[in-house]
Amino acid sequence: MPNDDQKHATLSILHLEDSEQDHLLVKREFQKSGEPFVIRHVESLEAFGKVLKNSRVDVVLADYRLPGFTALDAWQLMKDFSVRLPFILLSGAIGETAAVQAIQAGISDYLPKEDISKVRHVTQRAIEMHHIVLAREQADADLALSQKQLASFAEQLQSTIEQERAAIAREIHDDIGGSLAAIRYDLAWMERHSPDASTLQHVRAATEMLQHAVQASQRIMMNLRPAILDQGLVAAIHWLGDSFSRRTGIATVITAQLKNEQLAKSIELTAYRTAQEALTNASKYAQCTQVKIELTGDEHFLTLEVADNGQGLPDSLVRHEGGFGLSGLKERAKTVGGWLDVSSQKGRGTSITLSIPIDGTQTIEQER
């Protein structure tokens, strides 16, 4: 919409017309308003182009047929100059075909010359619509930029999270793991050298608890930094599904086959984390008895689907596409050019599908 300064500024009109009488009629209509305006009268494409290049113009009024060219030629010239202005046909009967062509070309409006008394109203409306279109395009551009910045932020955030996870995993391995190993050696020494049966019983109990702590630390390290991915995504998905089945007792059916396993680390990690989060959701919320994991892919596309036979997600979560970590998974998928689909029916389970296009340059060698 034009602001107050624009509303009260002098209106600059470019009138493309080969009839001096018709031009004077148009000028007289604008004079009736009492508002300040400037109208430039041109009859040729050359003069039309010069005014566009050298003067401020708010709106173009044009007859359709002029000597040697039409208003569509003037419209094309305006496009060639990368000039965007409200463009109104002010002409006699031009025929249905010409009118359709004008509309398809993007011309703002058409006013027959016998309705010239409406020219001020039509002009004002065209200018206002033009400002609305420009404002909408600017809003769309700003939104696209914001989405791009958000995607970049999400990618950086995911990268930072993975780095922090790797750092924590190393600390667990180096510090806690080293301490647990030292404790294991001490307990083994005590078991070998203590003759007291009661002491031996406590040592064996402590050794058993130590073993649980070692397994827990290994599981935590694997969740934080999936070193299994070094063996490939297929092996990692099989390990993840088998571990889930052993831990939860939920039957897990795994189908994993890739024609091209030379994937970028970021893609492998995205697929792994998606499967990991989907299995976590299934164990916490689905109340299911079976989970199916299907990983397929070729040189052009990778698809991962994790489906359960549980109670399904609440309608509110499906409708708002959030909750249970799904929003995070959607943003993660975008960082590698993919997308996430969630399908859920009450009492019939939930399916989470990750799709990632592979452009041929996202190879493991480039990132590792």
Domain residue limits, the chain: 4-139, 226-368
Whether the Cβ atoms of residue 294 and residue 275 lie closer than 8 Å to each other: no
226-368 folds as Heat Shock Protein 90 (3.30.565)
* Per-residue pLDDT at 288: 93
Per-residue pLDDT, averaged over 104-120, amounts to 90
Q: How confident is the model at residue 360 (pLDDT cuts 50, 70, 90)?
A: low
Closest residue by Cα to residue 294 from 266, 318, 274, 322: 274
B/e letters for 68-92, b = 16+ CB within 10 Å, e = fewer, are: eebbbebbebbeeeeeebbbbbbbe
Can you give the pTM of this predicted structure? Answer: 0.54
- In angstroms, the CA 272 to CA 230 distance is 12
Within the chain, residue ranges assigned H as helices are: 4-8, 20-31, 45-54, 71-80, 96-105, 119-171, 177-193, 197-224, 233-248, 265-281, 315-320, 326-335, 364-367
Per-residue pLDDT, averaged over 134-147, amounts to 90
Same fold, 4-139 and 226-368: no
* Per-residue pLDDT at 315: 63
Highest mean pLDDT among 89-93, 109-113, 171-175 belongs to: 109-113
CATH ID of 4-139, from 3.10.20.600, 3.40.50.1100, 3.30.2320.20, 3.40.50.2300: 3.40.50.2300
